Structure 1
Amino acid sequence: MFILGNLIIALASILDIVFTIYTFIVIIAAIISWVNPDPYNPIVRFLYSVTEPLLRPIRRLLPLRLPVDISPLILLLIIYFLQRFLIPSLIELGYRIKGGII
């Protein structure tokens, strides 16, 4: 069972890295949205294509229409929660499957 435990621990570590990279992508997209970016710029198109699928549902769920878009902040809080809850839980599960103590 140690192989399955190591696999879960490795997946948790990779997921943590993915969450961290996505956090930076959301922050960069939010900062770029403050200026008037060229919509045909490949970097801007990449940032919007990566962030909009998660930001759009958050914007739809927000009851208030504020002059400032707070959906990136809410997405960052969700990512932070997942990093603090899901990643340690997966790592602990991996160690328990291995039969070790954290």
Structure 2
Amino acid sequence: MIYLIVQIIDKVITILIFAIIVRVMLSFFPRVKPNPLITIIYDITDPLLKPFQRFQITSGAMGLDFSPLIAIIVLNLIQSLIVRLLY
């Protein structure tokens, strides 16, 4: 039973990481029209990225947002801790 719970948590975190990667790739195409899939991706990833968005480097007109990278690192750490603790 615990093995099943660990697998589900592992898969959910993996899906969240892929959603963040897709969101980052979508940011390179600002003219893509919003559709339901893109809206779902933004709705899922917004709560994950908001706490980390203060780690931005702004210089002039262009800024770097490290929140996706930090969120992925934190999700990977949580994923590995949960797998190790529950096994």
TM-score normalised by length of structure 2: 0.83
Moved over 2 A (4+): none
- 5+ residue gaps, structure 2: none
Q: Following the alignment from structure 2 to structure 1, what is the Cα–Cα distance between the partners of residues 66 and 28?
A: 12
Higher percent of residues as helix: 1
Q: Secondary structure at the match of 1:82?
A: helix
TM-score normalised by length of structure 1: 0.72
Q: Following the alignment from structure 2 to structure 1, what is the Cα–Cα distance between the partners of residues 11 and 50?
A: 23
1:77 pairs with one of 73, 79, 85: 73
Q: Secondary structure at the match of 1:55?
A: helix
1:9: how far off? 2.1
Greater relative contact order structure (CA < 8 Å, 6+ sep): 1
2:21 alignment partner AA:
I
Residue 18 of structure 2 is aligned to residue 24 of structure 1: yes
Q: Following the alignment from structure 1 to structure 2, what is the Cα–Cα distance between the partners of residues 68 and 41?
A: 26
Higher percent of residues as strand: 2
Q: Alignment RMSD, CA only?
A: 1.4
- 5+ residue gaps, structure 1: 1-6, 92-102
2:57 pairs with one of 33, 55, 65: 65
Matched residue count: 82
1:23: how far off? 1.0
2:29 alignment partner AA:
V
Percent of aligned pairs with the same residue? 30
1:58: how far off? 1.3
Q: Mark the structure with the bigger radius of gyration.
A: 1
2:42 pairs with one of 44, 48, 65: 48
